[in-house]
Amino acid sequence: MDSPPQPPSDEPVSIERAPPREPILTLPLALTAYVVLLALVHLRVLLPPELENWTIDVFGFIPKRYDSSLANLQIPGGAGAKVWSFFTYSLLHANLTHLAFNVLWLLPFGSALARRFGPVRFFLFLAVTAVAGALAHLVTHEHAVVPMIGASASVSGAMAAAIRFAFVRGSFLSFSRSDADTAAKVPALPLLRALRDRRIVGFLVVWFALNIIFGVGAIGVDSESAGVAWEAHIGGFFAGLLLFALFDPVPRVRSDAADASSQDISNGI
């Protein structure tokens, strides 16, 4: 026999709600601001050609500026450009493809680094690695008159810094990764320990091969002599790898603890 229908109850009924879906791609504010800045600076391509070329000459990095034997050579920007062009060249790009390559390379690594460092450290880190890339280019192209532009020295530095913690259990390249903020805050590997990790060594080999063979990134903008400034990439990369600890706010762990924490289910891959 069916039971009689129950009268409606005034008791509140709890309804389980499905957890909100996380966005596919969320960028920290510092990285978003940097990408927007690059895009706004790139609007210079809408300027008349003479003015656009002037901005490249004034804000691009030209090794010839520092050639003391050419005191009478007139390069737009004067003495001031000898200082600011160490930074400003990294905000300029030759074309939309050049900008897109750098932004796409930066998104995964720069996102983790921005979450870890916070805005001030993140922007300062990008500036320092840009300077390192410019110095590497200056040493290897001391008489070059073609301006170098592009953010790839900073992008390379961000990639190098990020691999110091990217493969640690719970981080963003780990198979057992946590949420984005937690993944960005795992303790980093000591440098010597990181350089013994075969996954990191494999990443380094692939990165150097791609830069030497294909050389996507910071380029000269002269239409006849444009080339890849891969030395700037390497300068930024080594700066990011070696100077990471100076910017990192996350406490270090002992070497033996780092060995244990870096073990991942990907260890046999």
Q: What is the pLDDT of residue 8?
A: 53
Please, what is the average pLDDT of the chain? 79
Q: H or E segment at 50?
A: helix 49-59
Look at residue 249 in the predicted model and tell me its pLDDT: 92
Q: What is the sign, positive or negative, of the torsion defined by CA atoms of 234, 203, 155, 211?
A: positive
Q: Is the pLDDT of residue 211 over 80?
A: no
Confidence of residue 243 (pLDDT cuts 50, 70, 90): very high
Task: Say yes or no to pLDDT of 103 above 80.
Answer: yes
pTM: 0.78
Q: Residue 259's closest CA among 192, 175, 182, 162? A: 192
